[in-house]
Amino acid sequence: MKDAQDTSTIDLLPAPARRGRPRKPDGAQTPAQRKAAQRERERLAFVTYSADELERVGTAALAAELGRLVADGRPALAGAVWKVLHARACASRAELHPEQEAQARADAERLARAGL
């Protein structure tokens, strides 16, 4: 048996580990904190964009927003942003001269073969 005053000698047998799941360092949340976090998650999950808002935003900003939405796992909003970007791409393609359109098609094929 080890003396209670002895702090330099290590235990021969370590104390058994506690049973169950380890505790979180921050402690438990109160029911009000959990409900507030749930409401915030739900509020962010159902944010929508109006068509007017999306039309006013630049193409580069929309592309960045699309990447963020995909990374955050928000497919409904990403789909809305994608529709606007796709419509802009189709509109700009319609305005191309036939030679420019052929060059754009060749560039797209070259990128597809490169895996980009």
- Domain spans of the chain, in order of start: 47-114
CA-wise closest residue to 59 among 81, 80, 90, 27: 81
Pair 89, 66: CB distance under 8 Å? no
Angle, helix 75-94 to helix 59-72, in steps of 10 degrees: 150
Q: What's the pTM?
A: 0.42
CA-wise closest residue to 45 among 82, 67, 74, 71: 74
SS3 25: coil
Phi first, then psi: what are they for 99, rounded to 5°?
-70, -40
What are the pLDDT tens digits along the chain (116 aa)? 667 787 777 777 777 888 898 888 888 889 999 999 998 888 776 667 777 777 788 888 888 888 888 888 878 788 888 888 888 887 776 666 677 667 777 877 887 787 65
Q: Which amino acid is at 35?
A: K
